[in-house]
Structure 1
């Protein structure tokens, strides 16, 4: 066995999306970084070995998609990949190669694949005793009451008979199972806390060892001819249709996928992982056998489908959770608590699968009730968007160990929402950024923890760096003193107004509907529906495009909201209300002469009150930034939809003015926070920064529209979001006129950073947009300039 010693600033153990984003962020921040991963490909559960597609906050909240490094990765993958995305089982090697490319091109990043960590070296040479395997109550390693530091990790490259000793100042445990934290002696928990401990809605009355299970996926392929299938004798034989159709395991897609091929209890998700893999394989082949040979519905649909992939690396949802400098509870996230050390956001629903998976009486609760959006369970599980604190990503017992992924410092109930890969990717970028700033400032964990708890200068620097690098923080905005753009005034060639949107408008703004619906007429107004919009100044009238089965009455109201994710029915204030008489007829415009003056500029919602079951409100095929539909989910709350409703406003509202790009926020919230050019004026269009005095500028950074409204699952192969700017020029003015500093073609990324070929000195800088990826207008969320 050959032995090599290497020294780094940061060693990241675990190459899932959390570890990948952490390593890239640290390397970009100037740290000499090592990423060590036990598998041959990066991505963890998202890799081609497990094939789970990335979920996050935008599944449930409009404009809540994760940005930053994970946005770069997913936008690149969609632009390159021919493969359509579906729920599970679809990730291919093209995604693996995008991750490999992103890591390989970072000059400060060293990558070791096929290399599991086997030992943790402590500074004092201490050997940490391994935890007992207990089966009563939830179980944990008890606190040690003394501080520790990791000196290095021992790892073995399996295919090369190579032993690596990886030493560093900082370490990140992104292994999922908290392997490094456990071997370093960290206190951790596994299983369920009782309701009495934190008074969490989703906690059981009694503590237990129960965990969510592991899964493998299957995938089938249509070969265009009959494809017989015989399951091996050791496969599970399914004969009962109710197991699938009445217990939340509906095999509706012949291509496969199926997250519900899941098993945990009675096995231990770490120690019994190989037995779980075997059991999952037995069940997976049995599921396919049922679909091909027994299910009266699916066997006809699957006739020409052949089994093409059976995963053999189980994807885990839950194991150890390490105690950090802050312990996140469900209540904090449900309240959307503003942490002083907020470093990212989440918003997946509070998704705790039924213990036992396939061995349980029913599947995950939402699936078992048919994914109803108006059930009590759905209302209790709809959560966020919320921020999470840096202290939950810092181990309590080891003074140089960060955490990212499903092993972070969180209760089991809160784990149900923070565990998805969109959220864990942001955790990784936060840790990589924090480590880089710690080194630059000579900080230790104790000083950073104290500063973070108080919202001090160090955490503010981390937050501002994250914002500059594309991460969204719900409770913080750009106040970077070095950003020269904040001192400028802004003008543009033209600015769009929001007139409304019609069911007859062309699909120009958002491309195809994110979730096409079989019923183009729109939903019945038997229950409350609403349209979110931004208003300012005066509003004389609101017109809705409706179809009435008979003469009907419709009660509507205009409410002011606290922002884009204010889901309270009635918002923060009811501004006006009325009842309209709607004659029978199809696709008619019905007008409310509301005659409102002096509206405070901001976020509003037009709500239709429940009870008009004979009316339908037409959908629209395009979405303008910040304007979309909602529907009721409980007697008091609404939820977001992936489409808007047809309405017209008079006069048109000014919500896309040039100065919006200096709001410090790069997505719709209490304002649209973006400039859009006027569609009548067409392209090219420009937006311009003006300073009173000449500025020397070397770096220009731009955040465009696109890649925010919905999850990556909505995007087809070779997708380039229509709202992203494709071709643009950075121009500056001197005494002899306008000049080109840089020209960019064929862009499809949301955020672009440009180090200019040479510094320019100017009082005026302009972004000239000549083409987008489909939208007839230009749209920009932010411009930053640095010397």
Structure 2
């Protein structure tokens, strides 16, 4: 499809059609792996002989998201909630990527600031983690898989395709017109057509097959003036890890390593290869690569299984860990968790100086803050080296620009996660899953706006970045140093804002554009007790149909699921007690107060209430109960016609 023809289509046509017809060349390409003409099938149920099963399917969507980890889930949910018909393609039987039950890596985010305080991500990723706190109090990783499944399939505009890999991009000129996919469980070739593709798969096979520019390895110091880069560029990529867990059986449990175990060289191991909480897995059982880490995956998987059992043999049989006598392996991973492979090139390559210098980007759409945590070349195969080097920690969060989230040379391709446009050193921080999730929500929202405004991602960033940023802020994303200033928000136009009581902050701060306390500044209102209310007054009637509230979930404390079920100043393994549970929204209409909506089982920080339009002169938000605190705190209130 010619670019000019794409731009001539109206946004409604794009949403309805999904994609213009493929070129004849592209169509001819799609008739290979689903071909079953050789089948000689005698179907006893129908009595028909020589049947051929139908194993080829073509589907049209507005947005195609490849990869069902944290980034892909957030991208798909963001696009779908805006109204785009979205497909989420995941090559495993479960969602969650490295955080799934198949790998069980903690879904970390910004929780390693020098201050020691978490400054947690909000938006869709927080919503996912809160959903888990309600539905998975037992903190089971297999149940977490099902929580994520529920989180995705409950969205009416998402079609989920599990056990499906996007193996090839079908091109029309310089754009991706379709993705050829293979679904393992159904033996189906599925051709997915869409005007916009988002690759959140980590390795980025679809993007690579489209011809999107990418690089692997470590940049040398000179290219981006990076302090922590090697003197000269090389091919090293951080290793993949294989985890395990052990169970106390209450009696001695002997262990004999399997035939493929690789002996752990404890004598030459670096002193920082520690065994703290080893019963929950050892993250430094990892293997990297200085060449093609994707092609070497199965070789490295076999090695990792050997190294894992070698380490466990050392724990059980060296005599140095007598407390392990009653422990037995309870779960052993078979799918390594990868940290690094392809990094695709966008209009901007995010680098070390952008992080450590807290560079301010006019097109910022997400943030990070995990320390620059570079795992050493070779992993456990360079056992004499420290397993990781935290080159830097951060006093505050840094920005991630939109220009790093779309392809430089494939116009309709976006990406989110560890495969974005960044250097190896920048990746050492931004690869953390909750950070990747923020990028996912940003590109999912961007994809919808591209459809709505009939533009490609580059043009969206150049011409409509304010619209994208305002949409993200409204949906409870946080962009450092970028307050919201939506001109359509009627709450900002209130002539008076006051509250029934105030313990801290000020009710007027609910419209200051900042939805969290940040940089040692207060941006909230907190009541003295409950019940309480906050009220907005207008001199002239305002037509209002939507009220949006951002309540307190304590972003200074993490709510991710950990194998150790940690519960302290930084981590919480329950529903945040600060979060609002029950409230009502009332309006003064023609001098009389009426209840417009009520919520009795709130489960998210962003509370959005919609009702038929009403001409009101006042809104009153009455707060009655939290999940444990005797006072309520709000960070933002918005109102829309």
Instruction: Normalising by structure 1, report the TM-score.
Output: 0.71
1:338-353 alignment, distance < 5 Å: 338-353=360-375
Q: Which residue of 1 aligns with 2:18?
A: none
Residue of 542, 549, 553 corresponding to 1:695: 542
Residue of 463, 470, 479 corresponding to 1:473: 479
**Aligned residue pairs: how many?**
575
Q: Which residue of 1 aligns with 2:264?
A: 238
Cα distance in structure 1, aligned partners of 2:241 and 2:166: 23
Cα distance in structure 2, aligned partners of 1:462 and 1:201: 33
- Classify 1:431/1:493 alpha carbon distance in 2 versus 1 (closer, same or farther; 3 Å): same
Deviation at 1:712, TM superposition (A): 2.5
Cα distance in structure 1, aligned partners of 2:476 and 2:335: 32
Q: Which residue of 1 aligns with 2:134?
A: 79
Q: Which residue of 2 aligns with 1:677?
A: 527
Q: Which residue of 2 aligns with 1:491?
A: 498
Deviation at 1:192, TM superposition (A): 0.8
How well do the aligned residues superpose, as a CA RMSD in angstroms? 1.8
The reply to whether residue 411 of structure 1 matches residue 420 of structure 2 is: no
Residue of 352, 368, 371 corresponding to 1:330: 352
Q: Which residue of 1 aligns with 2:108?
A: 55
Q: Which residue of 1 aligns with 2:633?
A: 779
Q: Which residue of 2 aligns with 1:462?
A: 468
- Classify 1:118/1:383 alpha carbon distance in 2 versus 1 (closer, same or farther; 3 Å): farther
Contact 1:63 1:667 in 2 (8 A): no
Q: Which residue of 2 aligns with 1:21?
A: 74
Deviation at 1:242, TM superposition (A): 6.1
Deviation at 1:734, TM superposition (A): 3.5
CA offsets, 1:504-560, max 9 Å, x none?
xxxxxxxxxxxxxxxxxxxxxxxxxxxxxxxxxxxxxxxxxxxxxxxxxxxxxxxxx
Deviation at 1:63, TM superposition (A): 5.5
- Classify 1:340/1:184 alpha carbon distance in 2 versus 1 (closer, same or farther; 3 Å): same
- Classify 1:354/1:63 alpha carbon distance in 2 versus 1 (closer, same or farther; 3 Å): closer
The reply to whether residue 92 of structure 1 matches residue 141 of structure 2 is: yes
Deviation at 1:440, TM superposition (A): 0.7
Deviation at 1:234, TM superposition (A): 2.2
1:177-576 alignment, distance < 5 Å: 177-238=203-264, 240=266, 243=269, 246-265=270-289, 268-296=292-320, 298=321, 300-360=322-382, 361-366=384-389, 380-382=392-394, 384-451=396-463, 458-488=464-494, 489-497=496-504
Cα distance in structure 2, aligned partners of 1:266 and 1:438: 38
Cα distance in structure 2, aligned partners of 1:316 and 1:383: 28
- Classify 1:785/1:450 alpha carbon distance in 2 versus 1 (closer, same or farther; 3 Å): closer
Q: Secondary structure at the match of 2:440?
A: helix
Q: Which residue of 1 aligns with 2:556?
A: 709
Q: Secondary structure at the match of 2:346?
A: coil
Deviation at 1:394, TM superposition (A): 0.8
Residue of 750, 762, 768 corresponding to 2:616: 762
Contact 2:212 2:344 in 1 (8 A): yes
Deviation at 1:775, TM superposition (A): 1.6
Q: Which has the higher strand share?
A: 1
Unaligned runs of 5+ in 1: 85-90, 125-147, 367-376, 452-457, 498-655
Q: Secondary structure at the match of 2:146?
A: helix
Cα distance in structure 1, aligned partners of 2:416 and 2:109: 15
1:90-169 alignment, distance < 5 Å: 92-124=141-173, 148-169=174-195
Q: Secondary structure at the match of 2:374?
A: coil
Deviation at 1:247, TM superposition (A): 2.9
- Classify 1:383/1:330 alpha carbon distance in 2 versus 1 (closer, same or farther; 3 Å): farther
- Classify 1:206/1:664 alpha carbon distance in 2 versus 1 (closer, same or farther; 3 Å): same
Residue of 582, 586, 589 corresponding to 1:727: 582
Q: Which residue of 1 aligns with 2:46?
A: none
Deviation at 1:69, TM superposition (A): 0.4
Q: Which residue of 1 aligns with 2:6?
A: none
Q: Which has the higher helix share?
A: 2
Contact 2:557 2:572 in 1 (8 A): no
Contact 1:54 1:712 in 2 (8 A): no
Q: Secondary structure at the match of 2:238?
A: coil
Contact 1:696 1:762 in 2 (8 A): yes
Deviation at 1:786, TM superposition (A): 1.1
The reply to whether residue 663 of structure 1 matches residue 512 of structure 2 is: yes
Q: Secondary structure at the match of 1:156?
A: strand
Q: Which residue of 2 aligns with 1:563?
A: none
CA offsets, 1:320-365, max 9 Å, x none?
1111011111111211111111111111101111111111112334
The reply to whether residue 33 of structure 1 matches residue 86 of structure 2 is: yes
Q: Secondary structure at the match of 1:150?
A: strand
Cα distance in structure 2, aligned partners of 1:20 and 1:694: 40
Deviation at 1:733, TM superposition (A): 2.4
Q: Secondary structure at the match of 1:747?
A: coil
Contact 2:515 2:635 in 1 (8 A): yes
- Classify 1:101/1:266 alpha carbon distance in 2 versus 1 (closer, same or farther; 3 Å): same
Deviation at 1:381, TM superposition (A): 4.1
Contact 1:186 1:322 in 2 (8 A): yes
Of stretches 178-187 and 188-197 in structure 1, the one that deviates more from structure 2 is 178-187
Cα distance in structure 1, aligned partners of 2:144 and 2:283: 19
Q: Which residue of 2 aligns with 1:633?
A: none
Contact 1:334 1:384 in 2 (8 A): no
Q: Which residue of 2 aligns with 1:575?
A: none
Deviation at 1:58, TM superposition (A): 2.9
Cα distance in structure 1, aligned partners of 2:446 and 2:130: 25
Unaligned runs of 5+ in 2: 1-33, 35-54, 561-565
CA offsets, 1:257-307, max 9 Å, x none?
2211111136732101011111111111122222222242x3x32222221
CA offsets, 1:554-604, max 9 Å, x none?
xxxxxxxxxxxxxxxxxxxxxxxxxxxxxxxxxxxxxxxxxxxxxxxxxxx
Q: Secondary structure at the match of 1:119?
A: strand
Deviation at 1:224, TM superposition (A): 2.9
Deviation at 1:34, TM superposition (A): 0.9
Instruction: Normalising by structure 2, report the TM-score.
Output: 0.86
Contact 2:370 2:393 in 1 (8 A): no
Cα distance in structure 2, aligned partners of 1:305 and 1:267: 38
Cα distance in structure 2, aligned partners of 1:221 and 1:786: 54
Contact 2:100 2:145 in 1 (8 A): yes
- Classify 1:450/1:478 alpha carbon distance in 2 versus 1 (closer, same or farther; 3 Å): closer
Deviation at 1:415, TM superposition (A): 1.0
Deviation at 1:240, TM superposition (A): 2.7
Deviation at 1:477, TM superposition (A): 1.4
- Classify 1:241/1:750 alpha carbon distance in 2 versus 1 (closer, same or farther; 3 Å): farther
Cα distance in structure 1, aligned partners of 2:214 and 2:572: 42
Contact 2:585 2:596 in 1 (8 A): yes
Cα distance in structure 2, aligned partners of 1:719 and 1:408: 33
Contact 1:211 1:319 in 2 (8 A): yes
